[in-house]
Amino acid sequence: MEKKRKIRIGKVIGDKMNKTVIVAIDTPKRHPLYRKTVRRIVKYYAHDEEKKSKVGDTVQIEETRPLSKLKRWRVVEIVTKGEVAEIKPGEITN
């Protein structure tokens, strides 16, 4: 019997590592007593073999076997390409 692997969709917030991206998944939930919507952001380390995903992209990740100390997910596909302006600190003028 094959188990269904978990699939999540989130935004890439870090791509500085080799073949690894950090994906943030935002989950809004209602507080059980106060009924206010509370945002819960969870960060996952995902394996990106081709190094195609960049910061700002929305990606689909899938659960997999442990690949390293923190990596338990892999990038399945890039849903949308993000547009993040790359500005260096020296380029900002007041």
- Domain extents for the chain? 7-84
| Mean pLDDT, the chain, integer | 91
Q: What's residue 90's pLDDT?
A: 74
| 7-84: CATH number | 2.40.50.140
Q: Counting Cβ atoms within 10 Å, is residue 44 exposed (0-12), middle (13-18) or buried (19+)?
A: middle
Is pTM beyond 0.75? Reply is yes
Share of the chain above pLDDT 90, in %: 82
What's the start-to-end Cα distance of the chain, in Å? Answer: 62
pLDDT at 1: 64
